[in-house]
Amino acid sequence: MLKEIFNKPTKWSAMKQLIFKEVDDLIIDSLGIVSFISFFVGGVVAIQTALNLTNPLIPKFLIGFATRQSVILEFAPTFISIIMAGKMGSFITSSIGTMRVTEQIDALEVMGVNSLNYLVFPKIIALLLYPFVIGMSMFLGVFGGWMAAVYGGFTTSFEFTTGLQAEFIPFHIAYAFIKTIVFAFILATIPSFHGYYMKGGALEVGKASTVSFVWTSVVIILMNFILTQLLLS
Q: Give the pLDDT score at 7.
A: 80
Could you tell me if 188 and 92 are in contact, meaning their C-beta atoms sit under 8 angstroms apart?
A: yes
What is the Cα–Cα distance from 32 to 65, expressed in whole angstroms? 26
What average pLDDT does the structure give for the chain?
A: 88
Residue 24: exposure state from Cβ atoms within 10 A (0-12, 13-18, ≥19): exposed
Average pLDDT over residues 53-74: 85
pLDDT in tens, 97-115: 888 888 888 888 888 888 8
32 or 11, which is more confident:
32
Q: Give the pLDDT score at 227.
A: 92
pTM for this structure?
Answer: 0.88
Average pLDDT over residues 132-142: 93
Q: Give the pLDDT score at 37.
A: 93
Q: Give the pLDDT score at 217.
A: 93
Average pLDDT over residues 164-193: 90
Share of the chain above pLDDT 90, in %: 36
Average pLDDT over residues 55-84: 88
Domain residue extents for the chain: 1-232
Could you tell me if 179 and 226 are in contact, meaning their C-beta atoms sit under 8 angstroms apart?
A: no
In angstroms, what is the C-alpha Rg of the chain? 21
Could you tell me if 105 and 196 are in contact, meaning their C-beta atoms sit under 8 angstroms apart?
A: yes
- Residue in 181, 201, 206, 218 with CA at minimum distance from that of residue 85: 218
How far CA 56 is from CA of 51, 104, 145, in Å, comes to: 12, 66, 21
